Structure 1
Amino acid sequence: MGQGLRAGQVDGRWDGGLLRAEQSALVASWLRSPKLLADFSWALADTKVLRVQGPDGQFIVKAGGPDNHHLGRELAAHRAYTGPLVECGRAGRLLLADSGANLLVMEYLEGHLVEGTQAEQEPGTYAQAGELLRLFHNQGRRIDGRYELQATAKSLAWLDRAHRIDPAVEREARGRLAEYRPEPVTVVPTHGDWQPRNWLIHSGEVRVIDFGRFEFRPAATDLCRLAVQQWRQQPALEQAFLEGYGTDPRSDVVWRIDLLREAVGTAVWAFQVGDEEFEHQGHRMLTEALARW
C-alpha cells in the first residue's frame, strides 16, 4: 500500500519536511531515530499519513494542520470505540497522541488496500466488511432528535457554495430537501467512509483503517458509499455484505434522503477541490438519487 516517498531531507529532519516542525520533533522524541519509509497521504486532504520505521518496529504516523478536524475524530474513535476491532486484529491500535499538535502514532497493520485489487470484486471481502461494521456499530446507540435536521441543513448549505450542478437538478434537490420532514433517529458509532479504499487485505483477512470521519450517525449512512459504487452493478457484493452485517439498516424514506445528501456533498466538494472524476460521480449520484422520487 502507499505512494512511496515524495520528499527528501529538509534541514536534516527525518520526515523530509512533510510534518510541521513541532510534529516532527514529537515523533522523533517518541520513536527515537525514526526513519521515513513511505508517504501514504492523500493529495486532496491535508492529513499526512506516514509509514515509519523505529527501533521497536514499524508505525503509522498521522498528522494534520491546525484546522484539521479529522485527527480529533480519529482520536475520539480510537479512545472509545475501536477496541473490538483492535482486539481481533482488524484495526490498528492507537499508541501515542498529542491532540494539541494534531498528531497520532498508530500500530502498523500488514496488508494492501482492497481498492483496485481482485479482492474488491469478491463477495467474501464484503461479508467480512459487514461483520466488522456490525461489530463497530453495536457498541452504542441513542436517539438523536436533531441529526436529520442538521444533516439536511448541511446539504442545503453545500448547495449555497460554488458548484457545477445543473440548475434544474439543483432546484429539484433543494425542493426534495426542503419538503423532507425529519424525525428523531437512532444513531450509532459510524466510520463515515466505509469502502474498499479504507480496507486492507492480508492473508485473506479484511482490516480497517482511517477513522477520521468518525461520528454518531444512523447506521445506514455507512452503506452510502458502497451503494453508489461497488454495489451498483454487482448485487452479489451487497448481498454478501448484508449477510455479514446480519440485517439491513436502511429504511426507504430516510435512505433516499441519505443518498441525496451524499450526492450533494460529493458533487460540490469534488468541484471545490478540483477532482473532476469524483465530481462526475457526484452528478451521476444526484441523478440516481432524485430518480427515487
Structure 2
Amino acid sequence: MPPSPAAADAFASHSSYASHPDREVHGVRQTKPLPTTVQRWAERRTGPVVAVRDASHDWHRSRVWELTGKGGARWYVKVSPSVKFFTRETRAYRHVVPALGHSRAPHLLNSRADDLALLLTAAPGAPAPGLRLTSVEWRAVHSQAGILCARLHEAGELDRADRTEAEGALAAAAGGAEKYLGRAGDRLTGDEQQLVRDYAAQLRRVGPVPLGYIHGDNQPRNWLWSEAGLALCDFERTRPAARVQDLVILAVTEWLDHPDRKQAFFQSYGWALTDAERQALRCLTALDAVNCLAWGPDNGHPDVTARGRRTLDRLMREDRP
C-alpha cells in the first residue's frame, strides 16, 4: 500500500508524526478517540495525562495520539494497523533505529502486543513538507537525510533470516506486479500493463545489489526538521531488503523535480548507486506506479494516484516513444 499523502502545510506544534488537521465529513469534525485501556497503560509509564490529541495520518487505519502530561512533557501512542507492522516497528526501534544516533528518531518506551500499541518519545522537529523551507534549506534536509539513510542501511550485520529476506526482496516486489495490475484494472491501458510486466521481469534479472535495513516509507513526511537537524519517524515498514528500495518514492517525487536535492542526498549518502541498483530503481518506479494507481483511487487519495500516473506516463514516453 502506498503511503498516505504528505502532511498539511501548517503544524500547530512539533510532532514525532506527521500531524494532520482534524478530518471533516459533511462539515463535522472527525477524530479518533484513544482507547481508554491504552491510555491507562501509557499512564503507568508517563504519569497522568492532561491532554490527548489525534495525530493520525489522513488514512483510516492510521492511529496515533499525542499525549501531554502535567508539566508539559509530550509522548506519542501509536496503535499499529496490523501484527506485521507492530512486529516490524517494535523490532526496528530496539535493534535498528539506535544506529541513527541521539535525537535522530523517537525512542520506544514501551509496547503492548495485546493492543498493538507503542509508547514513544517525541522527537524534535516537524515534518519537512509543512515548514515552507527555502531551496537552500531543502538541500540541507536532503543532505542530512542521506547521512541518516546510510546509517539505517548499515545498522548492523544481517543475520541469516534477515539476509534471506533481503536477498528475496526484489523478487518479492516483482511478484506483486500482477496483484496490483489486477486491482488497477482498466486504469492502465494494455500497453501500460505490458510495460509494468516487462519491468517486473527485468527486476528479477538485475543481479546482486547491496542489502541492509530500509525505512520502507522514506520520504519528507517522515523527516522531522528543526534547529537540531533531521530526525526520522514511522518505522512500521522497516525491514531487511535491497537498499535501493528506500529511494523509490524520492526518485519519483522530490528528485524528479529537484535534482539538486538528489545531489545533496548522495553526497552525504556516501556512495553512488551501482549499475544493478540503477536498473532496479527504474524497475521499482514502474511497480510503484501501478501500486499507486491501484491504491490511490480506491482510498480517495488523488495525490497518490497522480504520482503513479505521472511515473507511468514518463516511462511510456521514454520506453514506448
What is the TM-score with the length of structure 1 in the denominator? 0.86
Tell me which of the two structures has the higher relative contact order, counting C-alpha pairs closer than 8 angstroms and 6 or more residues apart.
2
Q: Residue in 2 aligned with 1:282?
A: 308
Q: Residue in 2 aligned with 1:13?
A: none
Structure 1's 126 and 133: CA in aligned 2 closer, same or farther, altered over 3 A? Answer: same
Checking the alignment, whether the CA contact within 8 Å between 1:147 and 1:185 is kept in structure 2 is: no
Match of residue 111, structure 1, among 125, 130, 138: 125
**Partner Cα distance (1:120, 1:207) in 2:** 19
Could you list the runs of 5+ residues in structure 2 that have no partner in the other structure?
Answer: 1-10, 12-18, 25-30
Q: Residue in 1 aligned with 2:108?
A: 94
Structure 1's 68 and 172: CA in aligned 2 closer, same or farther, altered over 3 A? Answer: same
**Partner Cα distance (1:30, 1:276) in 2:** 40
- Residue 133 of structure 2 aligns to a residue in which SS? helix
Count of aligned pairs between the two proteins = 283
Question: Does 1:175 find its partner at 2:201?
Answer: no
**Partner Cα distance (1:245, 1:197) in 2:** 19
Match of residue 236, structure 1, among 260, 274, 278: 260
**Percent same amino acid among aligned pairs?**
24
Q: Deviations over 1:175-219 (max 9, x none)?
A: 332455344544211001111111111115111111111111111
Q: Residue in 1 aligned with 2:78?
A: 62
Question: Does 1:27 find its partner at 2:42?
Answer: yes
- Residue 210 of structure 1 aligns to a residue in which SS? coil
- Residue 231 of structure 1 aligns to a residue in which SS? helix
Match of residue 165, structure 1, among 159, 179, 188: 188
**Partner Cα distance (2:239, 2:34) in 1:** 26
Structure 1's 36 and 288: CA in aligned 2 closer, same or farther, altered over 3 A? Answer: farther
**Partner Cα distance (1:243, 1:172) in 2:** 32
Q: Residue in 1 aligned with 2:172?
A: 150
Could you list the runs of 5+ residues in structure 1 that have no partner in the other structure?
Answer: 8-15
* 1:104 partner letter: L
Which stretch of the first structure deviates more once superposed, 173-182 or 226-235? 173-182
**Partner Cα distance (2:120, 2:42) in 1:** 11
Structure 1's 172 and 5: CA in aligned 2 closer, same or farther, altered over 3 A? Answer: closer
What is the TM-score with the length of structure 2 in the denominator? 0.79
Q: Residue in 2 aligned with 1:130?
A: 146
Higher helix share: 2
* 1:168 partner letter: D
* 1:169 partner letter: E
Checking the alignment, whether the CA contact within 8 Å between 1:263 and 1:289 is kept in structure 2 is: no
